[in-house]
Amino acid sequence: MTRETSQRNKYEPEDAKELLKRDIPPARHVVEDLLTEGLVIAGADQKTGKSFLGLLLALSIAMEWPFLGRDVIQGCSALYLDLENGQRITQDRLFQLLDGASLPDGRLHIVYEWPRFDQKDRGLERLGEYLDAHPEIVLVVLDMLVSVRPPRKPSDGAGIYEGDEAFISRINHLAVKHHVAIVALHHTNEKPFNSDAPMNSLSGSRGLIGGSSMNWLLHGSHGKDTADLYIDARELGIRHVPIARDDLHGGWLLDPNRADSVQDAPVVRATARDRVLEEFRQSGTSLSLTYLYERTGLPKRLLRDTCSKLYRQGQLTREREGDGLYVLAPPATQADVSRLLTPDQADQWEVLDSSRVIADEQLISNRLTSTHP
């Protein structure tokens, strides 16, 4: 068949019965019930954790961890286009999210520069070539969309809607062709948020929203520990996922206090915090970071951050400030709680074991620790 014949047949209508006979495989689910192949515009306000969410998603694919309580596709890899944060910040976040776990070779590809998706730089074509060379990749996280978007010129002739739709459709076509999910992190506009129409907060025209296979909107406030992820997808419909900060790792988890069912609860894995606290329980004395490093084999930076957070949460304390030694905090009792809180506040506390008290207010935990000489 000649190229001219093939081009002509592409525009020739077919009988719908022929379509019904065709065996078309379903869209690949990268994350069960949350993410399928195609382009996803994932928007959020500045400094609300969208980059952390994108990196956590890529790492979940690489490590085969559940993402926001949902199973991910197994045995595959992810590509993270880190075009804003750089190596130092991304390394810190990976240490934090991995929490001592070992990252398998070749499962998470990271690049820090990429050409724009235009005819001059051919960034989109290069992405297609990379996906051809690495068929194991099922997820591409693009941080951020604006970094590869061609600058809009008044002389282009096309309107804003047409330009957005054409640009987004090209990326979506590439994602569907290679059966991958491309999650493009994006900004929101300054319109008041409307939970009935959350995607109206995405920056850009309707062409940007309409050209993708799926849209995500992360709604939260800078510094807050809870947020809401809204999903609008052709394959999955409309979803609302309540999420909360993981105070140790800094990433996002499904919010157990707002999850719809027990199955939606986040999967708990052994953490650096568990291993550090166990060392203190077994030793019964003050320990240094050097000792903990020799005993656990965890990265020194992770140990430092973990001990610092446990100290701020009141689970570790110091015998003397500045000596570099931590010690397990004494147990807090209900009597301690009653001295510091009103009866209504005290009902929110639950004594779990001899080393920690979990509460809504971490600062009160530090106050409890300070009552023990």
pLDDT in tens, 44-73: 998 899 999 999 999 999 999 999 989 999
Reply yes or no on whether the pLDDT at 369 is more than 60. no
Q: How far apart are CA 54 and CA 108, in angstroms?
A: 13
What DSSP line would sit under 48-63, residue for residue? SSHHHHHHHHHHHHHH
| 160 and 45 within one domain | yes
Domain that holds residue 172: 25-264
| 198 and 117 within one domain | yes
Reply yes or no on whether the pLDDT at 87 is more than 80. yes
| 192 and 339 within one domain | no
Is 256 domain-assigned? yes
pLDDT category at 157 given cuts 50, 70, 90 is low
Average pLDDT of the residues in 254-263 = 65
- CA quadruple 21, 22, 27, 32: dihedral sign: positive
Is 16 domain-assigned? no
Q: What are phi and psi of 216, to 5 degrees?
A: -120, 145
Average pLDDT of the residues in 289-314 = 84
pLDDT in tens, 91-138: 989 988 888 889 999 999 999 999 999 989 999 999 999 999 999 999
| 185 and 47 within one domain | yes
Q: What is the CATH number of the domain that holds 357?
A: 1.10.10.10
| 247 and 124 within one domain | yes
pLDDT in tens, 241-254: 999 887 666 688 88
CA-nearest of 311, 272, 307 to 289 is 307
pLDDT category at 332 given cuts 50, 70, 90 is low
Count of domains forming the chain: 2
Is 14 domain-assigned? no
Question: Between these two residues, 60 and 305, which has the higher pLDDT value?
Answer: 60
pLDDT in tens, 188-202: 999 999 988 999 999
Q: Is 150 helix (H, G, I), strand (E, B) or coil?
A: coil
| 197 and 279 within one domain | no
Is 57 domain-assigned? yes
Question: Which region holds residue 314: left if phi is over 0, alpha if psi is between -120 and 50, else beta?
Answer: left
| 79 and 217 within one domain | yes
Q: What is the CATH number of the domain that holds 151?
A: 3.40.50.300
| 281 and 244 within one domain | no
Looking at the DSSP assignment, which residues form a beta bridge with residue 317?
327
| 231 and 122 within one domain | yes
Residue 216's H or E segment, with its range, is strand 214-219
Q: How far apart are CA 247 and CA 1, in angstroms?
A: 61
Q: What is the pLDDT of residue 159?
A: 79
Reply yes or no on whether the pLDDT at 234 is more than 70. yes
Average pLDDT of the residues in 304-315 = 84
| 295 and 259 within one domain | no
Q: What is the pLDDT of residue 107?
A: 97
Write down which residue in 224, 247, 264 finishes a domain: 264
Q: At what angle do helices 272-283 and 300-312 cross, to 10 degrees?
A: 80
Write down which residue in 247, 264, 281 finishes a domain: 264
Share of the chain above pLDDT 70, in %: 81
Is 42 domain-assigned? yes
Q: What is the pLDDT of residue 360?
A: 35
Q: How far apart are CA 233 and CA 238, in angstroms?
A: 6
| 193 and 50 within one domain | yes
pLDDT in tens, 15-42: 999 999 999 888 999 999 899 999 999 9
Is 64 domain-assigned? yes
DSSP state of 332: P
Is 7 domain-assigned? no
Write down which residue in 248, 264, 280 finishes a domain: 264
Q: What is the pLDDT of residue 69?
A: 86
Reply yes or no on whether the pLDDT at 231 is more than 50. yes
Looking at the DSSP assignment, which residues form a beta bridge with residue 142?
81, 184
Is 18 domain-assigned? no
Reply yes or no on whether the pLDDT at 155 is more than 70. no
**Residues 6 or more apart from 157 whose CB is under 8 A from it?**
none
| 292 and 236 within one domain | no
